[in-house]
């Protein structure tokens, strides 16, 4: 019997590879074999890593051999924080991110409304009023005439603030008499009338009257998102807003063999009891699709002045931000964290401001103390603004910092007018967190920022803001190396989803998820990194994108 098993294993080992990459610069991420020339793949797995001559010996008549001619080969990028359906949906929505003025903002809505069937909602947008001069918030009056008979709810790019037109306000029943909801703000003009801007929980009233997307619309958006991911070398994502209707579409695509990106789907923390009741724990599912992660919110965003700080905003001195409705009262959040952790589910909490991060760390410490030691891998999403003591606590408590470096070069254009130079020293503190022994898991927060790991690596390494005003980097002491940034986009994010044994590095036995870049980002000047392209994306040993 033993001889039979050995013979069978030998026969499998001698089967030809289905895909081989040769003549490359392979950065494996594996310290035992840091560099190689070639990789061989079969049955969705890496079967060997070594020299081109060695790998060519594994080829058969049907093997595809790709000569990558000295280009850099990395493990496929794993984006640790996306909103996958929303990102795909926004690809076909009105595009407002780069509108340079309120007038351009209005005209883009007018043109989109002209091409949209009468009465249909206009959503998406991702506008950024910090691009305007002056950087004042839009109002309903700005878009009322442009939108015609279309209800409008377009989001600021951080997702924590929308502007709606008067029709949408009426449909949502929001008037001057409507009180601010817990965890939200209805922005009002001096007379008390709503301006159309709604922050955080105040957006819920409008969201409730927007017709839900139908399965065919969700599927179309997800397919667009998968194409977008493949073009940027992303082979895995952690979807932080995978509602049940989106999860059903993922399952349909998986069943039909049409899922081309690996998805770790996070549900709302408020739904933890539903998952626990049927025995779901972290990492429930397979290598293509899994659940068991939960996402909660501690606060809002810096751009919307709703991130929760200990001290007031410099440009809004009457406010230190908003605790999310998940945190009102704080005992509600703590009870959910403790209960979900006890059930074996993984917890990720959005925290931007220093007070929000401090509070979540405190809650994580209490949950760990109550429920006992285990490999729980608590995460804080964004971890943007940290006090020095809390940076050390991340390391001591082994909390994963799930961060999005593109935000640093975007927010860095204007963040100091909100919080000042001193507080900014703990902003996107990549270097300090690594030095404290913290696992960094990098992602994009797409749709909020581009799902583009190349730009994310550029941002983490250079910290050059998008306006060109910080050529040596904004808060330059927080720069990290290219290798450290790559690791955060591969092994770090794999660890954050309990997947480091199957992906994140180029090793025999791991999933054959690979990316080939047009230039060697490890050796070119860091400012050139942003110009590098993805030439091949390989998921499960199959080429899903070829430039």
d(CA 462, CA 301): 23
Minimum mean pLDDT among 22-26, 41-45, 155-159, 240-244: which range?
155-159
| Cα Rg, the chain, nearest whole Å | 24
d(CA 375, CA 277): 21
pLDDT in the model for residue 4: 32
Alpha carbon dihedral 436, 347, 309, 100, in 10-degree steps, equals 100
pLDDT in the model for residue 387: 98
Examine the pLDDT at 257 and tell me if it is beyond 80.
yes
pLDDT in the model for residue 12: 43
**Of 206, 181, 226, 215, whose CA–CA distance to 122 is shortest?**
206
Mean pLDDT along residues 409-418:
97
Mean pLDDT along residues 141-162:
93
pLDDT band at 11 (very low <50, low <70, confident <90, very high): very low
- Do 157 and 173 touch, CB atoms closer than 8 A? no
pLDDT digits (tens, 9 = 90+) for 116-141: 998 999 999 999 999 999 999 999 99
d(CA 90, CA 250): 18
Phi-psi region of 23 (alpha: psi -120 to 50; beta: other; left: phi over 0): left
Examine the pLDDT at 318 and tell me if it is beyond 70.
yes
pLDDT band at 240 (very low <50, low <70, confident <90, very high): very high
Examine the pLDDT at 236 and tell me if it is beyond 60.
yes
- Tracing tokens 């918030």 back to the chain, one arrives at 137
Chain-centroid distance, C-alpha 313: 26
- The alpha-helical segments, DSSP class H, found in 130-255 are 140-147, 166-172, 204-207, 215-231, 244-255
pTM greater than 0.85 = yes
pLDDT in the model for residue 186: 97
User: Positive or negative, the Cα torsion across 48, 52, 58, 63?
Assistant: positive
C-beta neighbour count of 190 within 10 angstroms = 5
Examine the pLDDT at 3 and tell me if it is beyond 70.
no
CA angle 449, 451, 455 (to 5 degrees): 85
pLDDT digits (tens, 9 = 90+) for 350-382: 999 999 999 999 999 999 999 999 999 999 999
Examine the pLDDT at 5 and tell me if it is beyond 50.
no
pLDDT digits (tens, 9 = 90+) for 62-105: 999 999 999 999 999 999 999 999 999 999 899 998 999 999 99
Domains within the chain, CATH numbers bracketed: 2-70 (2.30.40.10), 95-207 (3.10.310.70)
Count Cβ neighbours within 10 Å for each residue of 287-321 and write b for 16 or more, e otherwise: ebbbbbbbbbbbbbbbbbbbbbbeeebeeeeeebb
pLDDT in the model for residue 389: 98
Residues with Cβ within 8 Å of residue 117, at least 6 apart in sequence: none
- The DSSP bridge partners found for residue 511 are 45
- Do 213 and 221 touch, CB atoms closer than 8 A? yes
Residues with Cβ within 8 Å of residue 470, at least 6 apart in sequence: 412, 463, 464, 476
CB-count burial class (<10 Å; 0-12, 13-18, 19+) for 212? exposed
Sequence-ordered strand ranges (E) for 413-469: 440-442
pLDDT in the model for residue 9: 36
């Amino acid at each position: 019997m033993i001889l039979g098993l050995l013979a069978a294993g030998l026969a499998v080992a001698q089967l030809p590879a289905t895909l081989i990459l040769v003549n490359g610069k392979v950065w494996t991420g594996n310290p035992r074999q840091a560099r190689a020339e070639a990789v061989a793949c079969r049955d969705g797995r890496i079967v060997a890593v070594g020299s081109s001559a060695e790998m060519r010996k594994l080829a058969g008549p049907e093997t595809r051999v790709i000569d990558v001619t000295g280009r850099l080969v990395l493990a496929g990028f794993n984006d640790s924080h996306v909103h996958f359906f929303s990102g795909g949906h926004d690809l076909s929505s009105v595009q407002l991110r780069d509108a340079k003025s309120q007038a351009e903002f209005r005209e883009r809505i007018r043109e989109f409304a002209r091409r949209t069937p009468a009465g249909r909602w206009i959503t998406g947008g991702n506008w950024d009023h910090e691009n305007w001069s002056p950087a004042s918030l839009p109002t309903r009056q700005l878009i009322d005439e442009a939108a015609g008979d279309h209800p409008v709810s377009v989001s600021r790019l951080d997702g924590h603030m929308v502007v709606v037109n008067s029709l949408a306000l009426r449909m949502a029943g929001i008037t001057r008499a409507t009180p601010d909801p817990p965890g939200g703000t209805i922005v009002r003009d001096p007379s008390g009338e709503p301006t159309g801007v709604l922050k955080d929980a105040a957006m819920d009233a409008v969201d409730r009257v927007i017709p839900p997307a139908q399965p065919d619309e969700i599927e179309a958006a997800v397919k667009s998102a998968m194409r977008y991911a493949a073009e940027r070398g992303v082979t895995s994502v952690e979807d932080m807003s995978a509602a049940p209707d989106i999860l059903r579409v993922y399952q349909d695509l998986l069943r039909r063999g049409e899922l081309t990106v690996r998805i770790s789907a996070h549900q709302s923390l408020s739904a933890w009891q539903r998952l626990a009741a049927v025995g779901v724990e972290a990492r429930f599912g397979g290598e293509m699709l899994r659940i068991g992660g939960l996402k909660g919110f501690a606060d809002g965003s810096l751009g919307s002045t709703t991130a929760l700080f200990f001290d007031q905003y410099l440009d809004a001195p009457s406010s230190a931000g908003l605790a999310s409705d998940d945190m009102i009262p704080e005992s509600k959040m703590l009870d959910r964290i403790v209960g979900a952790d006890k059930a074996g589910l993984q917890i990720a909490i959005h925290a931007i401001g220093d007070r929000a991060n401090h509070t979540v760390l405190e809650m994580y410490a209490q949950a760990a103390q109550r429920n006992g030691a285990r490999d729980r891998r608590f995460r804080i999403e964004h971890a943007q603004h940290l006090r020095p003591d809390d940076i050390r606590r991340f390391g001591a408590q082994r909390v994963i910092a799930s961060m999005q470096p593109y935000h640093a070069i975007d927010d860095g254009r204007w963040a100091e007018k909100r919080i000042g130079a001193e507080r900014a020293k703990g902003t996107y503190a990549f270097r300090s967190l690594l030095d404290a022994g913290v696992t960094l898991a990098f992602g994009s927060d797409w749709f909020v920022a581009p799902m583009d790991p190349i730009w994310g690596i550029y941002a983490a390494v250079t910290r050059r803001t998008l306006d060109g005003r910080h050529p040596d980097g904004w808060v330059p002491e927080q720069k990290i190396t290219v290798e450290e940034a790559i690791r955060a986009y591969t092994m770090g994010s794999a660890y954050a989803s309990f997947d480091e044994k199957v992906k994140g590095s180029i090793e025999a036995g791991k999933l054959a998820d690979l990316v080939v870049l047009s230039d060697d980002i490890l050796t070119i000047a860091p400012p050139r990194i942003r110009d590098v392209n993805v030439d091949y994306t390989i998921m499960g040993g199959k080429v899903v994108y070829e430039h």
